Amino acid sequence: MRRKLLLGNWKMNKTPSEAVEFCKEAKELGKLARANKVDMGICVPYVDLVPVKKILKKSLIVGAENCHYLEKGAYTGEISIPMLKDIGIDWCIIGHSERRTYDNETSEKCNKKILALLANGITPVYCCGESLETFEANKTKEFVEEQIVTGFKDVSYDDAAKVVIAYEPIWAIGTGKNASKEIAEDICGFIRNVITKLYDRKVANKVRILYGGSVKPATVKEYLTQKDIDGALVGGASLDVNSYKELLTSLL
């Protein structure tokens, strides 16, 4: 049985002092989540990682929003995996559509990051998803399949199930539009079948697949009751501690 996973993505929001105030109120949510067999956490900007990790410790998952695949070097503005490990970070989002759109994040580059994260014992949350143009052209599945196949290149059989996949249709991120639960389930089920082809059904049944895209407390449960949707990657609704708590209590 795959555990449900609720993961917030703050993007470029909250100063360290704002993050501290949020975490003081959110700290107890970890107990509630664990009592109901839900994994819960937040991925935050680099400058927030240390203060957030210090407060939340093992209460909630604390992850980074990106990393570089090399251990060190002349890459101004980048953050390495050893830097994340040194401050106790063991989750990291890879390939979010906003990084693909604005920062030339390719699936090939994501693959290098996934391999490096796995080698360092950090859980990658690998994002995939299509544009509105691709969706309307009925090419979602071939587009997403390419992202999954490329992202998982050279990932070993034993490591494959450690990767969390987040399906986020670009046309539903921050737009207020939602893919219906039927559309989300169809694509998440398709992704599981792609993993089956790459590995086998045993591995595919272990991989957690999240849905993301304007998820709100009022809608989160309808997604997570679907067979192949194991959780949600949430943006705006994770920024307010009350809506963050509502996301959890909506599932209980």
Catalytic one of 96, 98, 130, 185: 96
Q: Which residues pair with 93 in a beta bridge?
A: 125
Question: Rounded to the nearest 5°, which phi and psi values hold at 126?
Answer: -95, 120
- Average pLDDT value for the chain: 95
Catalytic one of 65, 105, 130, 168: 168
Kindly report, residue by residue over 214-226, the tens digit of the pLDDT. Answer: 888 998 999 999 9
Confidence of residue 58 (pLDDT cuts 50, 70, 90): confident
Q: Which residues pair with 94 in a beta bridge?
A: 126
68 in active site: no
Secondary structure of the chain as H, E, C letters: CCCEEEEEECCCCCCHHHHHHHHHHHCCHHHHHHHCCEEEEEEECHHHHHHHHHHHCCCCEEEECCCCCCCCCCCCCCCCHHHHHHCCCCEEEECCHHHHHHCCCCHHHHHHHHHHHHHCCCEEEEEECCCHHHHHCCCHHHHHHHHHHHHCCCCCHHHHCCCEEEECCHHHCCCCCCCCHHHHHHHHHHHHHHHHHHCCHHHHCCCCEEECCCCCCCCHHHHHCCCCCCEEEECHHHCCHHHHHHHHHCCC
Yes or no: say if 29 and 10 are a contact pair by the CB < 8 Å rule.
Answer: no
Kindly report, residue by residue over 223-244, the tens digit of the pLDDT. Answer: 999 999 999 999 999 999 999 9
Reported as half-sphere exposure (CB side, CA atoms, 13 A), residue 63 has a value of 27
Both tokens of 140, joined, read 């979602």
Q: How far apart are CA 84 and CA 79, in angstroms?
A: 8
Distance in angstroms between the alpha carbons of the first and the last residue of the chain? 17
Kindly report, residue by residue over 159-176, the tens digit of the pLDDT. Answer: 999 999 999 999 887 777
Which pLDDT belongs to residue 93? 98
The distance of Cα 101 from the centroid of its chain, to the nearest Å, equals 17
Which pLDDT belongs to residue 179? 87
168 in active site: yes
Ordered by where they begin, the domains of the chain are: 4-249 (3.20.20.70)
pLDDT of 186 over the 80 cut: yes
pLDDT of 178 over the 80 cut: no
